[in-house]
Amino acid sequence: MTALITQLINLFAAMILMLAFAMLAQRRILSLIHLFALQGLAVVGATTVVAYVTDQHHLYYSAALTLALKVFFIPWLLHRLINRLNVRWDIETLINIPSTMLIGIVLVVFAFNLALPIAELSTSISRGTLGIALACVLLSFMMMITRSKAVPQVIGFLAMENALVFAATSATHGMPMIVEFGIALDVLVGVFILGVFMFQIREQFDSLDIRHLESLKED
Partner 1 sequence: MSILILVFAIPLAGALVLALMGHRPQARNVNVILSLGTLLAAALLTAKIIAEGPLFALDRQFFIDPLNVFLVTLTAFVGFTTSVFSQPYMRVEEDHGKMTPNRMRLYFSMYQLFNFTMLLALTTNNMGILWVAMEAATLTTVLLVSIYRTPASLEAAWKYFILCGVGIAQALFGTILLYMAAERVIGNGADALLWTNLDAVKTQLNPSVMALAFVFLLVGYGTKVGLVPLHNWLPDAHAEGPTPISAVLSGLLLNVALYAVIRCKVLTDGALANRFAGDLMVGFGLLSVVAAAFFLSRQKDVKRMFSYSSIEHMGLMTFAFGMGGPIANFAGLLHMTVHSLIKSAIFFSVGHAAQKAGTQIMDNIRGLIKVSPTVGWGLMLGSLAILGMPPFGVFASEFLILTSAMRQLPWATPFLLLGLGVAFAAIFSRVQPMVFGETTVKPLAHPPTLLPVFVHLGLGLMLGFYIPPYLNNWYMQAARIIGG
Q: What is the binding site for partner 1 (CB under 8 A)?
A: 56, 114, 117-118, 121-123, 134, 137, 141, 144, 150, 153, 157, 160-161, 164, 167-168, 171-173, 175-179, 182-183, 185-186, 189-190, 193-194, 197, 200-201, 204-205, 210, 212-216, 218-219
> Does residue 71 contact residue 37 with C-beta atoms inside 8 Å?
yes
Closer of 79 and 141 to partner 1 (Cβ)? 141
- Shortest Å, Cβ 64 to partner 1: 19
CB of 173 to partner 1, least distance (A): 6
Q: Which is nearer to partner 1, 98 or 206 (CB)?
A: 206
Smallest gap from residue 193 Cβ to partner 1 (A):
6
Q: At closest approach, how far in Å is the CB of 210 from partner 1?
A: 7
Q: How far is the CB of 154 from partner 1 (least distance, A)?
A: 9
Of 21 and 166, nearer to partner 1 (C-beta) is: 166
d(CA 129, CA 204) in angstroms, rounded, equals 43
Closer CB to partner 1, 35 or 137, in the complex:
137
Q: Which is nearer to partner 1, 4 or 206 (CB)?
A: 206
